[in-house]
Amino acid sequence: MRLDRFLPLVLLIGITHCFFFEVVNPSPAGIALEQPEASTWPVQPESAPQGQSEAVSTIEESATAVLEAQIENIQARHDVTQNLDYKCGPKWGKCPMGTCCSSSGYCGTSKLHCRSPDCLIDFGTCDAHRVPKGPPTSEILRPHIGQVPYGPQEIRSCTVPGTVALTFDDGPTRYTGELLDLLDKYEAPATFFITGVNNGKGQIDDLSLPWAPLIERMLLSGHQIASHTWSHEDLSKISPTQRREQMEKNEGALRNIIGSFPTYMRPPYSSCLADSGCREAMGDMGYHIILYDIDTDDWKNDNPSLIQRSKDLFDHALSSGNPATKSWIVIGHDAHEQTVHNLTEHMLRTISRLGYRPVTIGDCLQDPRDNWYRIDNRWPGHKNKKNTPNKKGPKKVVPQQVSVDGTCGANYTCLGSRFGLCCSSVHLCGNSTLHCGVGCLRDSGYCTVEAPSNGDAWDPKSPGRSGKSEGESEFRTVGTAAATSLFLALVVAVWM
């Protein structure tokens, strides 16, 4: 191979590579209002409370930097609508009415601008500002019933020896149905700390979305439902009014689904600092504040090659105690694929192997089930809506008997049977997604709503969406460009 023939082609490849790279990576100047969110939720651990990342500005002592600072100060004094770039935040002020302030400080109305908890609630409209239907729950009395301590005390461990309370935060998500299948398979009760409107998923009580049936299914399957706030804000960093709203809106939405709301809560980022008044406020609202004593760190290890670290953390912790005297509260997140498809089954097997049994938080604290929720009888919720008469005329009601052999349809319903709640398309009762999902017969049991295929509205990790961090996006682009160059080089080498 002669070098003088090869060099021009190498140059050509280099130019091609640079062109390709520029096309797929527009310069910052080419980016419109929206910037990729600085933090892909949930990036902050429940175990290591952190606030939203704040931009640390270093003022260089150059004439340019001083001039920029002066311009910023002048602009900050103006109404934000007069800013050509519609910036928002502590320096810039609020967004125009009806628009959201993204975590990177830009006004807009896209899902990325408005999704909570990234969206800045003090500088624009956010998903956090949505309100569930129905009367507010603020009027409902909240006596401290039972023996389990309420706020300001935080609860970090169980009291019944030999029990393990698996808890899952931030859902429901696209993975929650499969997690319920798995828990059914192992007959393992768990506790779900539910967030009402986080991560662009829409409201949990929006009946066009799949969340409400999943929450109903949790209840029917014997799991415990608890609150993880309305939009996953840091309760130590918001005002007392905002904190109350965070709890009451989630109460209203859960009430709309199951007719009651929980007495158990876990603060997002495990952040409910005494100084902020959060712990007292939770007590005043009638909540048990639940933390944990095993952190799986699953949010850090949501990758097939990393999830072993979470398994090791769990195994190591569980092995350190004796089930005759010890019990545990474990934190995980059903927002993560590896938690649902990998880690949870491992935990369930380890629990059994070491002689423990899985339970809900309420059970591991010996709190009677009636104490887990406060009933709101004022709002009928969607159950009664389903029963509203059809405009086409009254539907013929066929009296149904509970299935005795696992078959369903026509005169037999799965509701109340020992074979599962849902009637599949092939007329068999069960609780799995196969039974409750596509083809499920609504007249003969319970069915979940199919998840919409609207990308990151319900999946923080949809491929191709900007839910991924910018760094990962660049990595993919660089990888593609490098592969293209390598391919061209191989072609040239063969040709030479």
Contact 251/133 with Cβ under 8 angstroms? no
CB of residue 394 to Zn ion, shortest distance in Å = 45
Span near Zn ion by CB under 5 A; candidates 13-21, 166-174, 400-408, 411-419: 166-174
- For 418, the token pair is 């020992």
Which residue do the tokens 């260089």 mark? 60
CB of residue 170 to Zn ion, shortest distance in Å = 4
d(CA 168, CA 95): 35
SS3 265: strand
CB of residue 254 to Zn ion, shortest distance in Å = 16
Span near Zn ion by CB under 5 A; candidates 142-150, 265-273, 281-289, 355-363: 265-273
Among residues 377, 483, 421, which one has the least CA distance to residue 222? 421
- For 383, the token pair is 């159950």
- For 216, the token pair is 């109903």
Select from 127, 169, 297, 363 the one that contacts Zn ion (CB under 5 A): 169
Range 204-243, binding Zn ion (CB under 5 A): none
Span near Zn ion by CB under 5 A; candidates 5-13, 167-175, 238-246, 298-306: 167-175
CB of residue 215 to Zn ion, shortest distance in Å = 16
Which one, 169 or 456, has the nearer CB to Zn ion? 169
d(CA 33, CA 35): 6
Which one, 173 or 413, has the nearer CB to Zn ion? 173
Alpha-carbon distances, residue 5 vs 12, 65, 484 (angstroms):
12, 49, 21
Residues annotated as catalytic (active site), given as ranges: 169, 333
Which one, 265 or 365, has the nearer CB to Zn ion? 265
10 Å Cβ neighbour count for 259? 16
Among residues 323, 269, 329, 264, which one has the least CA distance to residue 295? 329
Span near Zn ion by CB under 5 A; candidates 11-19, 50-58, 168-176, 441-449: 168-176
The yes or no reply on residue 297 touching Zn ion (CB under 5 A) is no
Which one, 13 or 294, has the nearer CB to Zn ion? 294
Which one, 170 or 295, has the nearer CB to Zn ion? 170
Select from 118, 127, 170, 205 the one that contacts Zn ion (CB under 5 A): 170
Count of residues engaged in binding Zn ion, rule: CB under 5 A: 3
CB of residue 209 to Zn ion, shortest distance in Å = 19
Phi-psi category of 93—alpha, beta or left, where left has phi over 0 and alpha has psi -120 to 50? Answer: left
Among residues 124, 265, 130, 269, which one has the least CA distance to residue 204? 130
- For 121, the token pair is 């609630």
The yes or no reply on residue 268 touching Zn ion (CB under 5 A) is yes
Query: What is the binding site for Zn ion (CB under 5 A)?
Result: 169-170, 268
